[in-house]
């Protein structure tokens, strides 16, 4: 086992929001824990159920005796991924905070890579990006096309020069989330976008996009028409949330208001 000396004084929290992931969640948590203990001395894994004490929650509970640094929480009702991440942050203690999706389509081995990049370049935020030139992805054409349009809207109306906001692995310095999360209202579809918008607006502009490997299989069928319909079904609420963020930033100036507590 090889652990960098420079990591010894730095604590990290990895927040894993989950809803109905199935029994695969047990394998995913094991992979995550195995990666973390190889490289970090001071870490915690915070798993947050966004659907109460469901079957997935019970499967994760079974792992607590195996992994003492795993902490599991629930709040009884589905409120969205964004709410789960904010809830998990309230419970966290780390100096550096990772968000990772429970399906772990981005392999947890990238956590060490992201941490290295943050410290090497002194960044505020590291985010995975499907559109990084070094990324290796298997991604449907229609989603690539719509993603480019979406990112163009973001760049123009939110002054956010980021090519991809939605990848399910992100790293933040704790102070960034302490300042930004109280201002974030979106709890579901555009949570990542609003968080990055707020961070950029508050002066946390050192945001680095990192390459990833992604074989996107979720909700993909062999029927392009069905895939297109599904993409628009998912994309429509994301667009609505995005327009609300633009309105809050440009018209209401909401993000300039001082908030005191993560809720």
CATH classification at residue 29: 3.90.550.10
For residue 262, pLDDT over 50 is answered with: no
Position 262 in a domain: no
For residue 84, pLDDT over 50 is answered with: yes
Position 232 in a domain: yes
* C-alpha to C-alpha distances, 89 to 16, 93, 245, nearest whole angstrom: 10, 8, 22
CB hemisphere CA count around 168 (13 angstroms): 19
* C-alpha to C-alpha distances, 33 to 30, 95, 262, nearest whole angstrom: 5, 18, 27
Give pLDDT, residue 131.
85
Position 120 in a domain: yes
Position 261 in a domain: no
Q: Residue 237: which pLDDT band, with cuts at 50, 70 and 90?
A: confident
Give pLDDT, residue 149.
84
Domain span at 28: 5-256
Give the mean pLDDT of 141-169. 86
Position 162 in a domain: yes
Give pLDDT, residue 217.
56
Query: 191-219: string of b/e by CB count within 10 Å (b at 16+)?
Result: bbbbbbbbbbbeebeebbbbbbebeeeee
Domain total for the chain? 1
In this predicted model, what pLDDT tens digit does every residue of 121-131 receive, in sequence order?
A: 999 999 999 88
Position 31 in a domain: yes
Position 263 in a domain: no
Cβ neighbours of residue 224 closer than 8 Å, sequence gap 6 or more: 142
For residue 263, pLDDT over 50 is answered with: no
Distance from C-alpha of 51 to C-alpha of 55, rounded to nearest angstrom = 10
Position 230 in a domain: yes
pTM of the shown model:
0.90
């Amino acid at each position: 086992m090889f652990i960098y000396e420079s990591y010894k004084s730095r604590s990290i929290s990895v927040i894993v929001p989950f809803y109905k992931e199935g029994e695969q969640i047990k394998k995913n948590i094991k992979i995550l824990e195995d990666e973390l203990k190889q490289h970090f001395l001071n870490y915690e894994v915070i798993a947050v159920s966004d659907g109460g004490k469901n079957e997935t929650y019970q499967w994760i509970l079974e792992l607590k005796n195996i992994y003492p640094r795993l902490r599991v929480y629930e709040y009884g009702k589905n409120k969205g991924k964004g709410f789960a991440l904010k809830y998990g942050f309230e419970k966290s203690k780390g100096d550096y905070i990772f968000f990772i999706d429970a399906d772990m389509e981005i392999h947890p081995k990238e956590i060490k890579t992201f941490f290295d990049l943050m410290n090497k370049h002194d960044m505020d935020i590291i985010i995975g990006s499907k559109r990084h030139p070094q990324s290796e992805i298997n991604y449907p054409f229609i989603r690539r096309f719509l993603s480019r349009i979406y990112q163009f809207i973001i760049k123009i109306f939110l002054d956010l020069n980021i090519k991809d906001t939605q990848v399910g692995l992100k790293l933040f310095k704790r102070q960034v989330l302490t300042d930004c999360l109280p201002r974030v209202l979106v709890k579901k579809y555009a949570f990542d976008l609003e968080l990055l918008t707020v961070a950029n607006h508050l002066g946390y502009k050192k945001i680095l996009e990192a390459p990833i490997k992604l074989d996107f299989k979720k909700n993909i069928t062999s029927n392009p028409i069905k895939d297109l319909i599904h993409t628009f079904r998912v994309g429509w609420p994301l667009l609505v949330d995005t327009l609300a963020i633009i309105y809050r930033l440009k018209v209401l100036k909401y993000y300039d208001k001082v908030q005191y507590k993560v809720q």
